[in-house]
Amino acid sequence: MKLPLVAACAAWACVAAATAHAQNPDPMDIRGCTAIESDAQRLACYDQATGRVNLPVAQKRTVQAAGGEVFGHDHPGTPAAGPGNSEVAVPLSLLDSRWELAPESKLGTFNVRGYKPVYVLPIFASSNQNNQPHSPNPDNDATGSERLDNIEAKFQLSLKAKVWQGVFGDAGDLWVGYTQSSRWQVYNSTLSRPFRETDYEPEAMLMFDTSYHVLGWEGRLLGIGFNHQSNGRGLPLSRSWNRLIANVGFEREGWTVMIRPWWRIPESRSIDDNPDISDYVGRGEVEIVHEWNGQEFGLTLRDSFRGGSRQHGSLRFGWSFPIAGNLRGYAELFKGYGESLIDYNHNATYLGVGVSLLDWY
- Label residue 171 exposed, middle or buried (CB < 10 Å: 0-12, 13-18, 19+): exposed
CA 200 to chain centre: 17
Q: What's the pLDDT score for residue 326?
A: 86
> Which one of the listed residues 97, 158, 182, 230 is annotated catalytic?
230
CA dihedral 279→288→179→209, nearest 10 degrees, is: 110
Q: Are 217 and 230 in contact (CB under 8 A)?
A: no
Which residues 6+ apart lie within 8 Å of 149 measured at CB? Answer: 129, 185, 187, 188
Q: If we measure between CA atoms, which residue out of 257, 228, 252, 253 comes closest to residue 240?
A: 228
What's at 41, amino acid-wise?
A: Q
Cα(203)–Cα(244) distance, integer angstroms: 10
User: What are the residue boundaries of the structural domains of the chain, listed by start?
Assistant: 2-54, 63-91, 96-358
Q: What's the pLDDT score for residue 66?
A: 31
Binding residues for Ca(2+): 192, 233, 238, 273
May I ask the CATH class of domain 96-358?
mainly beta
Q: What's the pLDDT score for residue 283?
A: 98
Q: What's the pLDDT score for residue 65?
A: 32
Q: If we measure between CA atoms, which residue out of 318, 271, 268 comes closest to residue 118?
A: 318
Q: If we measure between CA atoms, which residue out of 95, 106, 196 comes closest to residue 142?
A: 196
* 266-273 contacts at long range (C-beta below 8 A, 24 or more positions apart): 267/241, 267/242, 269/137, 272/137, 273/135, 273/137, 273/140, 273/238, 273/239, 273/240, 273/241
> Which one of the listed residues 228, 268, 270, 340 is annotated catalytic?
228
230 as an active site residue: the answer is yes
Q: Which residues of 59-98 are buried (b: 16+ CB within 10 A; e: fewer)?
A: ebbbeeeeeeebbbbbeeeeebeeeeeeebebebbbbbeb
Q: If we measure between CA atoms, which residue out of 132, 138, 131 comes closest to residue 273?
A: 138
> For each successive 10 residues of the chain (361 residues), what is the average pLDDT?
44 45 49 58 66 48 34 37 49 86 92 94 97 95 93 97 96 97 97 97 98 96 98 96 98 96 94 97 97 95 97 97 93 98 98 88 60
Q: Are 107 and 99 in contact (CB under 8 A)?
A: no
Q: Which residues of 133-143 are buried (b: 16+ CB within 10 A; e: fewer)?
A: bebebeebebe
Q: Which helix (H) or strand (E) holds 2?
A: helix 2-23
38 as an active site residue: the answer is no
Q: What's the pLDDT score for residue 201?
A: 98
Three-class SS state of 45: helix
Cα(101)–Cα(19) distance, integer angstroms: 45
The bridge status of strand 113-114 relative to strand 75-79 is unpaired
Cα(113)–Cα(361) distance, integer angstroms: 12
Three-class SS state of 159: strand
Radius of gyration of the chain (CA): 28
